[in-house]
Amino acid sequence: MALTEKVLMKGNEALAEAAIRAGCRHFFGYPITPQTEVAAYMAKQMPKIGGTYLQAESEVAAINMVYGAASAGVRAMTSSSSPGISLKSEGISYMAGADLPCLIINVQRGSPGLGGIQPSQADYWQATRAPGHGDLHVLVFAPSSIQEMVDMVFDAFDLADCYRVPAMILADGMLGQMMEPVVFPERTVKQYDKGSWATNGHQNQRAHNIVNSLYLQPDELESRILERFERYEQIKQKHTRSEEYLVDDADYIVVAYGATSRIVRSAVNTARDKGIKVGMIRPMTLWPFPAEPIEKAAGHAKAFLSVEMSMGQMVDDVRLAVNGKAPVGFFGRTGGVIPTPAEVLSEIEKMAGGDK
Amino acid sequence: MLSVLLAGFGGQGVLFAGKIMAYAGLIEEKYVSWLPSYGPEMRGGTANCSVCLSDEPIGSPLVLNPDVLVAMNLPSYDKFINQVAPGGIAVIDSSLISKRSDRTDIRCFYVPAAEKADTEGLSGLSNNILLGKALQEARFASFEAVEQAVAKCVPPKKQHLLEPNIRAIKLGMSL
């Protein structure tokens, strides 16, 4: 495949191809719908380029293999869907605690429990609040197109390496399964010096590096966490991302991310045609959450609406950002049901209450 | 924007025909999306895929009210014929679906695709016969773009299938 050729590709396959192009040579996974094509693509391609594809015996094993590979300083990743991410959560916490970079992909499906296999966004709380136990964050990207999935894979690996944190791409079954035209960017793979911490071979040329998340002295553990939170603060300052669509003159703002934002965009366009001054703010990173553009819009908007494929999770962050300056409503479908543009339009009309 | 829904049994090639449509759109530099059903219905029941071709960025890739319906089996016909947008078209494999729609606000084309595929030595290509008819009636892309799209969709190891795929489309256009 030529680098700049526009090709039609499934989201899952595009994620995998992008990871390979971003220098990832170590993939550890376990099959689960609707993300299996990520693993299938890796299984096919990794042996051809001298990489490792390994189907582990479980999700728990897969994330701990990522821990091992990342400890050695290589770019490593795993992918799964909602129930599988829950199983990985212990390993994610350990990696955060050991300051290890990696990429975790969650192609969300309906849940809780085994749930279903259709698209969902009900893992927002898990991704942004408690991807594992403890005081920690993972960097969470929320793509809304196949092109963005590709671009964010590069960014996720780079930022994970730069700040030594796990990064996650929070997609959903729709984005994973759909095909769209995509161009793979000619990006050079950034090299980060991992010599000061990676436990790779050094032929006794330096002191041993130790990767660990166990610190029995509270003072020492606290200082480690404080240092990590300084890095989190830098990520917040420099890498919070969002898109604003028709926000400047908007009286009403819909907040939506991922696949849902595509549906909302259609509804916003129709509402504009009907004379309703509505816009959309689309978080592209969920942690850190783009509170600032929402807070700013609260200066002129009369009401906000969070639209999600869940019972209402991101709406909490929207409320925190709006901070009481305007009412914040919610509309969602869950369990694998995808909201229709007509449903969202009707919610926008309700929010506007005949106001044009 | 033109929205298309292709539906049939798993194995009839609705996903493949949809991919050809989407690729034809890509070749003509349109925004395109292709979304398959991936539920348990794939395994023995009905499979379908949504295709959008547009001059503007595509919002929801999920097609609920298609401008063009390609129906390859009775359950799909029953499920989707009343969902076709007014003014839209339905291309129906009449060798497998004996029903006739009484809708007057859409144009229905009954093509004996499965039968033709057998008699014309195009076994398994009724999907592209119907695609050809849809191309003829909906003009979603130029024939040249579709021809190039087929070349993109037929895997390198199966190049011998290129010619019959295109022949099936041409046959569909003539029916």
Q: Is the dihedral of CA A144, A147, A150, A152 positive or negative?
A: negative
Share of chain B above pLDDT 70, in %: 97
Give A354's contacts (C-beta < 8 A, 6+ positions apart).
Answer: none
- Which residues have a Cβ under 8 Å from the Cβ of A225 and sit 6 or more positions away? A135
Mean pLDDT of A110-129: 97
* A44 close contact with B: CB closer than 8 A: no
Domain tally, chain B: 1
Cα distance from A314 to chain B (closest Cα, Å)?
20
Chain B: residue whose CA lies nearest to A267: B59
Does the pLDDT at position A177 exceed 90? Answer: yes
What pLDDT does B10 receive?
85
What pLDDT does A356 receive?
A: 65
pLDDT above 90: residue B130: yes
CB within 8 Å: A269 and B34? no
Q: How confident is the model at residue A201 (pLDDT cuts 50, 70, 90)?
A: confident
Binning pLDDT at 50, 70 and 90, where does residue B44 land? Answer: low
Percentage with pLDDT > 90 across chain A: 94
Query: Which of B:21-60 have CB within 8 Å of A?
Result: 22-23, 26, 31-36, 38-39, 57-60
Q: Does B61 touch chain A (CB under 8 A)?
A: yes
Quote ipTM for the complex: 0.94
Residue B28: which domain range?
Answer: 2-174
Task: Scan for tokens 């949504």, then name that residue.
Answer: B50
Bridge partners, A166 (sequence order): A102
Q: Could you read off the pLDDT of B25-40 as tens digits, one per residue? A: 999 999 999 999 987 6
Q: Testing the interface with B: which of A108, A180, A261, A338 to mutate, by most B Cβ within 10 A?
A: A180
- Average pLDDT, integer, range B41-66: 88
A107 Cβ partners below 8 Å, 6+ apart?
A11, A12, A34, A35, A38, A79, A80, A81, A171, A172, A173, A175, A176
Q: What single string gives the DSSP state of each residue in chain B?
A: -EEEEEEEETTS-HHHHHHHHHHHHHHTT-EEEEEE--SGGGTTSEEEEEEEEESS--S----SS-SEEEE-SHHHHHHHGGGSPTT-EEEEETTT-------SSSEEEEE-HHHHHHHTT-TT-HHHHHHHHHHHHH--S-HHHHHHHHHHHS-GGGGGGHHHHHHHHHHHHH-
DSSP 8-state code for residue A295? H
In which band, very low, low, confident or very high, does the pLDDT at A202 lie, cut at 50, 70 and 90? confident
Shortest alpha-carbon distance between residue A245 and chain B (Å) = 13
Q: Which site among B30, B37, B62 would you substitute to test the A interface, given the most A Cβ atoms closer than 10 Å to its Cβ? A: B62
Taking the Cβ of residue A262 and every Cβ of chain B, the question of whether any pair is shorter than 8 Å is answered with yes
- pLDDT band for A205, please (50, 70, 90 cuts): confident
A173 in reach of chain B (CB within 8 A): yes
Per-residue pLDDT of A288-304, as tens digits, reads 999 999 999 999 999 99
| Region A217-231 average pLDDT | 98
Confidence of residue A5 (pLDDT cuts 50, 70, 90): confident
* CATH (domain of B19): 3.40.920.10
Minimum mean pLDDT among A260-264, B35-39, B57-61: which range? B35-39
Averaged pLDDT for residues A115-141: 97
Shortest alpha-carbon distance between residue A271 and chain B (Å): 14
pLDDT value for A3: 52
Question: Nearest C-alpha of chain B: how many angstroms from A341?
Answer: 7
The token pair that represents A73 in the structure block: 């300083």
A274 touches chain B (CB under 8 A): no
Which of B 83-142 lie inside 8 A of A, CB atoms?
A: none
Assign B42 a pLDDT band (cuts: 50, 70, 90): low
> By the CB < 8 Å criterion, does A270 face chain B?
no
Tell me, letter by letter, the H, E, C secondary structure of A144-174: CCHHHHHHHHHHHHHHHHHHCCEEEEEEEHH
Q: Say whether pLDDT at A189 is over 60.
A: yes
Minimal C-alpha gap between A146 and chain B (Å): 10
Tell whether A318 lies on the interface with B, counting CB pairs under 8 A: no
- Quickly tell me which residue has 């091992």 as its tokens: A68
Per residue in A39-54, pLDDT (tens digit) is 999 999 999 999 999 9
In this structure, what DSSP letter does residue A136 have? -
Taking alpha carbons only, the member of B124, B122, B110 closest to residue B167 is B122
Which of A173, A179, A266 lies nearest to residue B34, judging by beta carbons? A179
